[in-house]
Amino acid sequence: MDQEHIIAELLAFIEADPPSDPAAADAAFEALALKVFAYQFQHNAPFAKFARARGKTPRTVKRWADIPAVPINAFKSLDLTCRPPEDCVATFMTSGTTLGGVRGKSYHATLSVYDASMRRNFAQRFMGGQERMPLGVLFPTPALLPNSSLAHYLDLARQHFGSPGSRHLIGPDGIDIDGLCQDLERAEASSAPYGLIGASFSLVHALDALATRGRRFRLPEGSRILDTGGFKGQSRELEPDAFYDALAMTFGVPRRRCINMYGMTELSTQFYDDGNAACPSVKSGPHWIRARVVDPLTGQSVPDGATGVLAHTDLAHFNIVATILTEDAGIAVDGGFLLLGRAAGAAAAGCSMAVDAFLKAASAA
């Protein structure tokens, strides 16, 4: 199958409502997943080598869950792409906080599928039935961060779902707190819902800056907040309950409308919860992505209710690899999964040493 056809199939799959019968929905997902696997096996040489080393080829893989999961670490050393990198329109990179600053890369031959995936999902999971609302983006623009998938995602939200006046509230000099206060005051004065969207750590910076000014807001009914990505050492670390309490208190948005998005550079589709009235919240994705909870060493699904590492099969990530093995711990529950934080990076005990600690010590030597 060529790129044009796989894109057409994917766009149609994303746009169509999935069959209401679960067995039919499973079959539809499986059929397309196997096509995507075959496409990637044919066009993505490093992935094909990786799959072959595990005895996984389009001839042997009969179930979507048997598609080999590529550890996200491999995105750092391999050019996992069906089209040559130079033909790609966007390269999203991880922040490179581990492994000596080497960054994982996802090459996108087109953003049409990524964007379709994002739009349909965001409309369903964040917009609450509204077509547009004023959106304040607490993250830099794509112009400032051209390799950030999150910058692209948030700007797409602003373009497609933001009403006039929606804007980025972070520039080269950091958060524009005056601008944020103005927008929040304007939203308070209107009766129309307002959306504040951005990185979790940027929201902490905003909370801290507003607390310094002694400012609190009561945004209109229907307003909502989207945070994503955690704190990553960029802000102080808050327990989820403390974080969502602070958001509710400062912006007057109830915790059930504070939505956390779980996304990754190594995916083209995001997971959302239905608010954070209670933590940890259940995360789920649309019908073109599936999550499994696996043993990281065997790749096999763990028994129901056991903790494992999350593996995602995202059909929209068609140019790269469909199934990735994350380093995030999770547990399957009804309607989705609970995200339990990072599984890797277990601190080495005593005088032995973890990889990160080694790199740090060596760079000091």
Which residues of the chain form contacts with other proteins (CB under 8 A)? 46, 50, 53, 70-71, 73-74, 76-78, 99, 295-298, 307-309, 325, 327, 329, 342-355, 357-358, 361-362, 364-365
Return the bridge partners of 314, or none.
289
| Nearest to other proteins of 238, 246 (CB atom) | 238
Give whichever of 192 and 343 is closer to other proteins, judged by the CB atom.
Answer: 343
Min. distance of Cβ 79 from other proteins in angstroms?
10
Closest distance of CB 351 from other proteins, Å: 4
The candidate with the shortest Cα–Cα distance to 313, out of 334, 293, 283, 331, is 293
Residue 34 to residue 65: CA distance in whole angstroms: 10
Instruction: Give the largest CA-CA distance in the chain.
Output: 64
Q: Are 272 and 126 in contact (CB under 8 A)?
A: yes
Q: How far is the CB of 70 from other proteins (least distance, A)?
A: 8
Looking at beta carbons only, is 76 or 257 nearer to other proteins? 76
Closest separation in Å from C-beta 361 to other proteins? 5
For residue 171, give the H/E element and its range. Answer: strand 170-171
Nearer to other proteins, 84 or 345 (CB): 345
| H or E element that contains 70 | strand 70-71
Q: Given the complex with other proteins, which of 144 and 355 has the nearer CB atom?
A: 355
Residue among 38 and 74 whose Cβ is closer to other proteins: 74
Locate 195 and state its tokens. Answer: 């959306």
Measured from the CB of residue 238, what is the shortest distance to other proteins in angstroms?
18
**Please, is 199 exposed, middle or buried when counting C-beta atoms within 10 Å of its C-beta (0-12, 13-18, 19+)?**
buried
Measured in whole angstroms, the distance separating CA 40 from the mean position of its chain's CA atoms is 21
In the complex, the smallest distance separating the C-beta of residue 265 from other proteins, rounded to whole angstroms, is 16
Closest CA to 145 of 100, 102, 93, 96: 93
224 Cβ contact partners less than 8 Å away, ≥ 6 residues apart:
126, 128, 193, 195, 196, 253, 257, 258, 259
